[in-house]
Structure 1
Amino acid sequence: MTKAELVSKIAEKGDYTKKDAEKALSTVVGSITDVLTAGDKVTLIGFGTFEVRQRKAKKGINPSTKQPVKIPAKKVPAFKAGKALKEAVAKKKK
């Protein structure tokens, strides 16, 4: 699903205009980004938790030259699904 499709879905389910749905989605995504950038986590009970995790430095191999490469440590965003979301996905029939 693309962002445009999600905006359409929000507008349809919430009885909003697409402009209002776009603004709401952008506000939520921007707010989550701001919180993660500050190093905090966002927990939405029943949905899941967005957080920042530290990835350790490691050794890799450049596939084109076959030379060893050092991959530096970095912070990455992560999402852990909540119990209600996991159950909803498991119950959904195809």
Structure 2
Amino acid sequence: MNNKEFISELSRRLGYTVKDATTVTDSLIACIIQDLQEGKNVTIQNFGTFEVKKKMERISVNPLTKQRFLVPPKLNLCFKPNLTLKEKLKSNTSDD
């Protein structure tokens, strides 16, 4: 499902116009992004938790040249699904 399909489905289910559903979706995503930028975790009930984790700086080796180099620290966005979501996905795959 892409963004356009998601907004169409949301507007259909809620009875909103596509424009209103777009506004709601954009506002939700903006709030999530703002909290993640501030270092906060974002938990959505029955879905999961988004969090930003810091990867420390490390030394890596180029396998071709055997040259060592420093990989700088970076931030990674991680998602941990809720147990309810995990169970729903497991039950769907066992039916196949």
TM-score range with shorter-chain normalisation?
0.7 to 0.9
- Alignment of 1:70 with 2:65, yes or no, is no
- Change in CA separation of 1:5 and 1:69 when aligned onto 2, cut-off 3 Å: farther
Name the CA distance, whole Å, in 2 between partners of 1:12 and 1:61. 52
Q: Secondary structure at the match of 2:40?
A: coil
Pairs within 5 Å for 1:1-94: 1-61=1-61, 66=65, 67-92=67-92, 93=95
CA offset digits 1:5-46 (Å, max 9, x no partner):
211121122222111111111111110000010011111222
CA offset digits 1:44-76 (Å, max 9, x no partner):
22211111111122233568x844432111122
Largest Rg, 1 or 2: 2
CA-based RMSD of the aligned residues comes to: 2.0
- Cα deviation for residue 81 of structure 1 reads 0.5
- Aligned identity (percent) is 31
- Change in CA separation of 1:8 and 1:72 when aligned onto 2, cut-off 3 Å: same
Gap regions ≥5 residues in structure 2: none
Q: How many residues are treated as equivalent by the alignment?
A: 93
Gap regions ≥5 residues in structure 1: none
TM-score by length of 2: 0.80
TM-score by length of 1: 0.82
Q: Secondary structure at the match of 1:49?
A: strand
Name the CA distance, whole Å, in 1 between partners of 2:90 and 2:9. 22
- Change in CA separation of 1:21 and 1:56 when aligned onto 2, cut-off 3 Å: same
Q: Which runs of 4+ in 1 moved over 2 A?
A: 58-63, 65-69, 91-94
